[in-house]
Structure 1
Amino acid sequence: MLPSHGSNPHYLYESLSIEQPEETLDFSANLNPFGPPKALIEKWPDAFDLITTYPDPHATSLTKKLAARHGSEESHVLVGNGGAELITLVGRFLFHKRVCIVQPAFSEYEEACRSAECEVTYHKLEEGWRLDPNPLVEKMNHLDAIFLCTPNNPTGVSYDLESVRTLIAEAEKQDCYLIIDEAFFADFLHKEPRYTVELMTNRNLIIMRSLTKMFAIPGLRLGYMMAHPEVIRAIKKLKPHWSVNALALMAGEICLDEQAYMKATRKLIEGEREKLQLFFEKHRYIYSRSTVNFYLLKDPDQTDQAPLMHYLMKNGIVPRHTENFPGLEGRWLRFAIRTSYENDRLMEVLASWRSLSL
């Protein structure tokens, strides 16, 4: 009965029959707390004329810019209507294949694969969420594809680079597709891994990235994938014509130039994350060792986090439930790192909750 995504908090209040307060702070969507870049806001009035013409179906200009960003060829890049379209396209590409999803993970991987009549299995990581590549390598002989989200959604944990590289190399050897979702990697980490260099020769590696998270433009829907040109051509044939609108294409080009904005975002997130973690330790909350702009949290005194979730919502704090994440099943709550004011308000309500149990 609960919504399958974060954001749109009124649906969550309705599903739980909780009266929504006049003021709520939404911690359920992992977006940049700064909001969209000023450059995009300033140029937005000039974009009106774009709605009178069809967008470029090949996203040529943005594709060039993305390829240059990664030191790659344009033939390795496919722009899509947000991560949701890209995941759906990959699912169609894997029609009737045997797919394993490293859990916990974003629920849409499974939805897309089951819609494409794939055989779906899980590889569940124990809490702590350390990635040991060896069990997955052993399974590859019986698989056609593996989905791996890093930094992981919902934990925020970044998997060990060497472990991921081991999976990349073994996937190529065993002819198993490795789909890496890096929606948060490139923008929220100071040093991003260079898995994209493998794409020149590796036909089994697919990397998906989002432009909506860092730049806070989820309403525009914009993302891209990178893969070997043969894979890009095959997936592009499954893509609807004109699926990415002209406003999104324009926004993408503007946002990619906002290096100072990205640097300021990383600084804010790091400072707020450290502040929050100190509070959690002081007040006996358990949290995931996130490297990005969201994290998992739980009260160790509660087997089921539903009472804490209800308390937060009644006080205007909207977390993301984890009921639909295999391996978590509601034992944690997920929170975005927001502005200093919003994070302070979250800590105030969590301190109030803790005082009730004393």
Structure 2
Amino acid sequence: MNLPSHGSNPQHLYKSLGLSLPEKYIDFSANINPLGPPPALKDKWNEFYQEITVYPDPFAEKLKNRIAQKEQISVDSILIGNGGAELITLIARFLSGKKVVVVEPSFSEYEKACCANDCEVQYHQLEEPNFELSLDKLLPSLMNADALFLCDPNNPTGIQYPVSTVLSIIQECEKQNCFVILDEAFYDFLVDYESFIPYINTFSNLIIIRSMTKMFGIPGLRLGYMAAGPSLIAEISKYQPHWSINTIALLAGELCLQNEEYVKETQVYISEERERLFPFFKKNLFQVTSSQVNFYLLRDSTLKEQSTLFEFLLQKGIIPRHTFNFPGLEGKWLRFAIKSKEENSKLMEVLLEWRQLP
């Protein structure tokens, strides 16, 4: 099946399957904050409009200063990007022609960007259903590797790896002159999060990517940032086009960083919905990953592969994210975002209907 390689934009998914997009549907395929953007963003929107006649600051100084203050790092250790996707592309250009290892399953853009830059891409496959990360098992894959891509908390499983394990991997990679690209696009959905940002001052091989579009519900604006040692930031930033981040995205980013209560409110909401959904899944013989963020993998444990469930849900206007382009998953799971209470309840209703089929 020639399915879209990302979630969202469901019209393309239905078209690829020869189906008609229902008038009413719920898109569970995009991992965006179900509470939407912070209300303060709407309040300021008219003010932001006045700024579209002005070129954006190519150095994003105000936003970088806010991040530096929040994370207690140097401004020179930050690079603002047009979403995490641009930052991944910049890193791939920096790694052009190198040997890259991707811990799978993981975000498909790592491989895509690296292949476009003539990297030799290899996989280190984690075993389902627990997807445990082990340095001992990873070591053979690191032999002669130039870079390692690790998504934590992981997309698509939603699993957070133990801090001690991630640190041991960073330390081992430093010994082997191997960069570690730690993608933390969903870090702020974690209730108990221990930041890796301070370690950029200890490990010269560490590059951290963060998204601001997921938590703050602004994927249409495209905004993220990278944290690493100043020399790495200076080198990677050479590949970035001038004015790649628009003015409104920069202003929105500054505003969003001031909304700490909104982040806490989101974390509580997501946790409560997980606690409501996961027991239901277990009771009705649906297996889920031990996610700690705003999405999870699910499968019908009575089926070997999930295509029939996938198409049933689409016919009912429930749109999960397929996993055919995640190495090691190949469609054996479906990924769902945590949505509003009403939408999550509708999902449970439809899954019950599925379970009651003859």
In structure 2, what is the equivalent of residue 131 of structure 1? 133
Percent same amino acid at aligned positions? Answer: 53
In structure 2, what is the equivalent of residue 254 of structure 1? 255
Distance 2:299 2:186 in 1: 22
Shift of residue 136, structure 1, vs aligned partner:
2.2
Q: What is the TM-score normalised by the length of structure 1?
A: 0.98
Deviations 1:82-131 (A, max 9, x none): 01100000000101000000000000000000011000000000011100
Q: What is the TM-score normalised by the length of structure 2?
A: 0.98
Structure 2 residue 121 is the aligned partner of structure 1 residue 120: yes
Distance 1:178 1:137 in 2: 14
Shift of residue 139, structure 1, vs aligned partner:
3.3
Structure 2 residue 172 is the aligned partner of structure 1 residue 141: no
Distance 1:239 1:203 in 2: 21
- Where does 1:111-260 land on structure 2 (aligned, <5 Å)? 111-127=112-128, 128-185=130-187, 187-260=188-261
Shift of residue 19, structure 1, vs aligned partner:
1.8
- SS of equivalent residue, structure 1 residue 320: coil
Distance 2:192 2:280 in 1: 27
User: What is the identity, as a one-letter code, of the residue corresponding to 1:353?
Assistant: W
Deviates more, 1:296-305 or 1:187-196: 187-196
Distance 2:136 2:279 in 1: 35
Contact 2:124–2:141 at 8 Å: present in 1 too?
Answer: no
In structure 2, what is the equivalent of residue 340 of structure 1? 341
In structure 2, what is the equivalent of residue 70 of structure 1? 71
Deviations 1:263-291 (A, max 9, x none): 11111100101110011011110000000
User: What is the identity, as a one-letter code, of the residue corresponding to 2:161?
Assistant: Y
Distance 1:311 1:26 in 2: 14
Shift of residue 314, structure 1, vs aligned partner:
0.8
Shift of residue 228, structure 1, vs aligned partner:
0.8
User: What is the identity, as a one-letter code, of the residue corresponding to 2:253?
Assistant: G
Distance 1:194 1:211 in 2: 16
User: What is the identity, as a one-letter code, of the residue corresponding to 1:140?
Assistant: L
In structure 1, what is the equivalent of residue 269 of structure 2? 268
Contact 2:212–2:223 at 8 Å: present in 1 too?
Answer: yes
In structure 2, what is the equivalent of residue 297 of structure 1? 298
Distance 2:142 2:335 in 1: 31
Distance 2:134 2:124 in 1: 11
Distance 1:102 1:66 in 2: 28
Shift of residue 201, structure 1, vs aligned partner:
3.3
Distance 2:344 2:331 in 1: 22
Give unmatched runs, 5+ long, in structure 2.
none
Distance 1:241 1:80 in 2: 11
Deviations 1:295-332 (A, max 9, x none): 00000122221110111111110000000000100000
Shift of residue 138, structure 1, vs aligned partner:
3.8
- SS of equivalent residue, structure 1 residue 327: coil
Shift of residue 133, structure 1, vs aligned partner:
1.0
Shift of residue 181, structure 1, vs aligned partner:
0.3
In structure 2, what is the equivalent of residue 287 of structure 1? 288
Give unmatched runs, 5+ long, in structure 1.
none
CA-atom RMSD, angstroms?
Answer: 0.8
Distance 1:70 1:213 in 2: 19
Distance 1:133 1:229 in 2: 28
- Runs of 4+ with >6 A deviation: none
User: What is the identity, as a one-letter code, of the residue corresponding to 1:14?
Assistant: K
Contact 2:285–2:302 at 8 Å: present in 1 too?
Answer: no
Distance 1:62 1:234 in 2: 20
Deviates more, 1:199-208 or 1:249-258: 199-208
In structure 1, what is the equivalent of residue 38 of structure 2? 37
Distance 2:141 2:278 in 1: 36
Shift of residue 196, structure 1, vs aligned partner:
1.3
User: What is the identity, as a one-letter code, of the residue corresponding to 1:337?
Assistant: I
User: What is the identity, as a one-letter code, of the residue corresponding to 1:5?
Assistant: H
Shift of residue 137, structure 1, vs aligned partner:
3.0
Contact 2:101–2:145 at 8 Å: present in 1 too?
Answer: yes
